[in-house]
């Protein structure tokens, strides 16, 4: 393959891997926004804590002498559970008491939680990078010079499975119907016997565990994590959610993938130092031109 062609396709692959992670985080934003109309600023930190939790649990399991495959799966499961519960606790302590308060109050509370979590991890785990305890193979598939590493392939696969699973769960199950009902009108839903608080807690749990999966895979992919990564990743995922139409689950996936690819192309063809400008530029442009996002439908504002 020619140099230019190779570069372009390789950038798309790089972008899709990063974009799949954005998409997983974006799902949490979009589900929470869909159901209680709150931008959960702390969601980026939840993702970061998912990565830390995974590394800590994995290190502990390996110290116990579990075989690698088993340790990896249990660590993923462990951090998924732990981080999901962190999400539920955040909702219970910082957002639920503020339901019905002014619009600014939960936003500021979310900002506070985000700072709190960042400092909590900094103080308990230190400022230096946390290194993934296993050195995974850097091999991969190769076609015409374009290389897809095993980890990239795994990220894409896991993300796709989770997204499909989530869509089916929300669309086809009883619980999913309760979630949609709560999103449309919490009062009516509760009158029809939907346990609204439980549904909201479950939404936070699912969104946070998806972020934990993203965090765990990213820690595996980059080999390290730092207490600061949540801020930027959270922002980017939010951009992805907005891009796809916030509150819209397929939109979040599409938005994540598109953002990842656009960023990759921008970094490759414009320059690495400008890729964040491009990402935020897209955010502003979308909000101004088409606030309902790529896949969203324009809704009349609730009064």
Partner 1 sequence: MDYLRRIAAIVAASLVIAGMSSCGPGRHVVRVAVIGPMTGEQAKQGKDMADGARLAVEEWNAKGGILGKRIELLVGDDAQDPKQANSLANKMWTMGVVLVVGHYNSSCTIPASEIYNLRHMVMITPASTNPKVTDRGYKTLFRVCGRDDQQGLVAAQYVVRFMPGAKVTVLHDKTTYGQGLADEFMANYEKLSAKKVVYYGAIVKEDQDYSAVLTSLKPLDPDLLYFGGLYPQAGLLVRQMRQLGLKAILMAGDGTYDPEFIRIAGANNAEGSLLTFMPDQEKIPGAQAVIASYRKRFGEVGPYSLYSYEAMNIGLSGIAKAGALDGLKAAAAIHSSSFETVFGPISFDAKGDVLDSPYVVWRVESGRLVQIPYK
Partner 2 sequence: MARRLAAFSKNGRFAAPASALFFGLLALPFMGLLGAFVVSATVLLFRWAALYGLLERRPRMPDFLARARGHVSKLPPAVKGTAPMALLSILVALAFVLDPYTLDVATTAGIYALLALGLNIVVGMAGLLVLGFAAFYGVGAYTYAILNTHYGLGFWTCLPIGGALAALFGLLLGLPTLRLRGDYLAIVTLGFGEITRITLNNWDSVTNGPNGILGVAPPSVFGFSFDHPRHYFLLALALVSLSVFLLKRLDKSRVGRAWVAMREDETAAEAMGIPTLRLKLLAFSMAAFWGGVAGVFFAGKQLFVSPESFNFLESVMVLCMVVLGGMGSVPGAVLGAVLLSFLPEVLRGVDQYRLLAFGLAMVLMMRYRPSGIWPEAHRALEAKEARNG
Residues of this chain that bind partner 1 (CB under 8 A): 3-4, 6-7, 10-11, 14-15, 18, 127-129, 131, 135, 138, 140, 142, 147, 149, 151, 218, 222-224, 226, 228-229, 232, 263-269, 271-273, 275-276
- For partner 2 (CB under 8 A), the number of binding residues is 57
User: 6: burial class by Cβ within 10 Å (0-12, 13-18, 19+)?
Assistant: middle
Q: Judged by CB under 8 A, does residue 288 bind partner 2?
A: yes
With CB under 5 to 8 Å by kind, the binding choice for 87 among partner 2, partner 1, none is: none
Tell me how many degrees the CA angle 226-76-51 measures, rounded to the nearest 5. 10
Quickly list H helices, 64-195: 68-90, 104-125, 150-172, 174-184, 186-191
With CB under 5 to 8 Å by kind, the binding choice for 11 among partner 2, partner 1, none is: partner 1
Total length of the chain: 303
Element (H, E) at 148: strand 146-149
**Going residue by residue from 84 to 103, which x/- string records binding to partner 2, judged by CB under 8 A?**
-xx--x---xx--xx--xxx
**Going residue by residue from 24 to 63, which x/- string records binding to partner 2, judged by CB under 8 A?**
-------------xxx---------x--xx--xx------
* Least spacing, CB of residue 268 vs partner 2, in Å: 17
Q: Which is nearer to partner 1, 111 or 269 (CB)?
A: 269
CB distance 162 to 210 below 8 Å: yes
Q: Please, which residues bridge with residue 141 across strands? A: 148
* Least spacing, CB of residue 10 vs partner 1, in Å: 5
Return the closest-CA partner of residue 116 out of 39, 34, 208, 48: 48
**Going residue by residue from 177 to 206, which x/- string records binding to partner 2, judged by CB under 8 A?**
------------------------------
Q: Judged by CB under 8 A, does residue 112 bind partner 2?
A: yes
Q: Judged by CB under 8 A, does residue 120 bind partner 2?
A: yes
Element (H, E) at 143: strand 140-143
* Least spacing, CB of residue 228 vs partner 1, in Å: 7
* Least spacing, CB of residue 286 vs partner 2, in Å: 10
DSSP 8-class letter at 131 = E
Contacts 24+ apart (CB under 8 A), 124-132: 125/52, 125/227, 127/227, 129/224, 129/225, 129/226, 130/51, 130/52, 130/55, 130/219, 130/224, 130/225, 130/226, 131/55, 131/223, 131/224, 132/55, 132/58, 132/219, 132/220, 132/222, 132/223, 132/224, 132/225
Q: At a CB cut-off of 8 Å and minimum separation 6, what does 136 contact?
A: 150, 151, 220
Q: Judged by CB under 8 A, does residue 283 bind partner 2?
A: yes
Q: Which is nearer to partner 2, 23 or 121 (CB)?
A: 121
Q: Judged by CB under 8 A, does residue 134 bind partner 2?
A: no
Interface with partner 2 (CB under 8 A): 37-39, 49, 52-53, 56-57, 82, 85-86, 89, 93-94, 97-98, 101-109, 111-121, 123-125, 231, 235, 238-239, 242, 273-274, 276-277, 280-281, 283-284, 287-288, 291, 301, 303
């Amino acid at each position: 393959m020619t140099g230019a062609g190779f570069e372009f396709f390789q950038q798309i692959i790089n972008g899709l891997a990063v974009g799949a992670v954005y998409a997983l985080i974006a799902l949490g934003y979009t589900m929470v926004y869909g159901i209680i109309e709150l931008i959960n600023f702390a969601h980026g930190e939840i993702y970061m804590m998912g990565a830390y939790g995974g590394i800590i649990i994995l290190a502990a399991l390996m110290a116990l002498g579990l075989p690698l495959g088993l340790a990896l799966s249990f660590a993923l499961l462990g951090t998924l559970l732990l981080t999901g519960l962190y999400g539920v606790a955040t909702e219970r302590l910082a957002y639920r008491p503020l339901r019905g308060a002014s619009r600014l109050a939960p936003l500021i509370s979310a900002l506070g939680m985000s700072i709190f979590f960042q400092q909590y991890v900094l103080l308990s785990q230190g400022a230096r990078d946390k290194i993934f305890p296993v050195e995974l193979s850097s091999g991969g598939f190769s076609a015409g010079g374009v290389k897809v590493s095993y980890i990239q392939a795994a990220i894409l696969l896991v993300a796709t499975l989770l997204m499909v699973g989530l869509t089916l769960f929300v669309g086809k199950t009883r619980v999913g119907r309760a979630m949609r009902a709560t999103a449309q009108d919490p009062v009516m839903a509760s009158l029809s016997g939907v346990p609204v608080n439980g549904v909201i807690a479950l939404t936070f749990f699912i969104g946070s565990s998806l972020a934990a999966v993203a965090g765990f895979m990213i820690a595996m992919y980059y080999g390290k994590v730092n207490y600061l990564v949540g801020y930027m990743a959270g922002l980017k995922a939010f951009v992805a959610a907005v891009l796809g139409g916030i509150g819209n689950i397929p939109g979040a996936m599409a938005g994540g993938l598109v953002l990842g690819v656009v960023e990759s192309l921008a970094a490759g063809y414009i320059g690495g130092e400008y890729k964040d400008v491009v990402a935020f530029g897209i955010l502003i442009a979308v909000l101004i031109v088409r606030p309902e996002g790529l896949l969203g439908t324009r809704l009349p504002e609730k009064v």
